[in-house]
């Protein structure tokens, strides 16, 4: 058994230590907000926070997060920055297909926790690991600026 802290809750999972965190979340805990995209940590669809930093859960073994705080899209709105980002996403109608959006939101929240006044270059750098097949990048950048304004 492996004990993890997921969204502030202690959970025990009967999985192998090398099981990717993504599969522990989706298959063992039925937390399907975090998406599988590429399986190689290249697209960002599987982004979660580990101790507040964005990580790709498809390549992170559960053994690497024992004793650490994991936050998923299901709980990102429990704090002010997460609420602001999600509100901006809705206000600016960012989503098209929506598949990548949980990862996009998780990366945006991590950026705004560190930098409340990001430039376009800051946003592009922070979001560069998140791919959107629908190409909503302009709306994503605008939503991050909107969230930043609402947090000021």
Q: What value does the mean pLDDT take over residues 73-80? A: 96
Q: State the average pLDDT for the chain.
A: 97
Q: What value does the mean pLDDT take over residues 66-74? A: 98
Query: How many percent of the chain have pLDDT more than 70?
Result: 100
pLDDT of 129: 94
User: What's the total number of domains in the chain?
Assistant: 2
Q: Are 59 and 19 in contact (CB under 8 A)?
A: no
Residue 2 bridge partners (DSSP):
13
Specify the DSSP element, H or E, that contains 125. Answer: helix 120-127
Same domain, 114 and 143: yes
Last residue of a domain, one of 75, 96, 112: 75
Residue 103's pLDDT band, with cuts at 50, 70 and 90, is very high
Last residue of a domain, one of 38, 55, 75: 75
In the chain, which ranges are E strands?
2-6, 9-13, 47-50, 53-56, 69-71
Same domain, 33 and 8: yes
Same domain, 43 and 85: no
pLDDT of 99: 93
First-to-last alpha carbon distance for the chain, in angstroms, is 44
pLDDT in tens, 1-58: 999 999 999 999 999 999 999 999 999 999 999 999 999 999 999 999 999 999 999 9
Same domain, 53 and 98: no
CATH number at residue 58: 3.10.20.30
pLDDT of 114: 96
pLDDT of 24: 98
* Helix orientation angle between 101-114 and 137-151, rounded to the nearest 10 degrees: 40
Q: What value does the mean pLDDT take over residues 113-142? A: 96
Domain that holds residue 108: 76-151
Same domain, 8 and 63: yes
Same domain, 81 and 142: yes
Same domain, 44 and 104: no
**Hey, what are 17's tokens?**
């230590």
**Residue 61, SS3 per DSSP:** strand
Same domain, 68 and 80: no
Last residue of a domain, one of 29, 47, 75: 75
Q: Determine the distance from the C-alpha atom of residue 23 to the mean position of all C-alpha atoms in its chain, rounded to a whole number.
A: 15
pTM: 0.96
């Amino acid at each position: 058994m492996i004990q993890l802290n997921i969204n502030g809750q202690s959970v025990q999972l009967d999985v192998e230590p090398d099981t990717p965190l993504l599969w522990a979340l989706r298959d063992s805990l039925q937390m399907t907000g975090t998406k599988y995209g590429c399986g190689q940590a290249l697209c960002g669809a599987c982004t979660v926070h580990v101790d507040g930093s964005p990580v790709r859960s498809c390549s992170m073994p559960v053994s690497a997060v024992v004793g650490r705080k994991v936050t998923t899209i299901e709980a990102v709105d429990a704090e002010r920055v997460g609420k602001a980002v999600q509100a901006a996403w809705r206000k600016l109608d960012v989503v098209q297909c929506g598949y990548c959006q949980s990862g996009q939101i998780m990366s945006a929240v991590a950026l705004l926790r560190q930098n409340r006044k990001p430039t376009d270059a800051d946003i592009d750098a922070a979001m560069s690991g998140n791919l959107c097949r629908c190409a909503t990048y302009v709306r994503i950048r605008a939503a991050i600026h909107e969230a930043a304004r609402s947090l000021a």
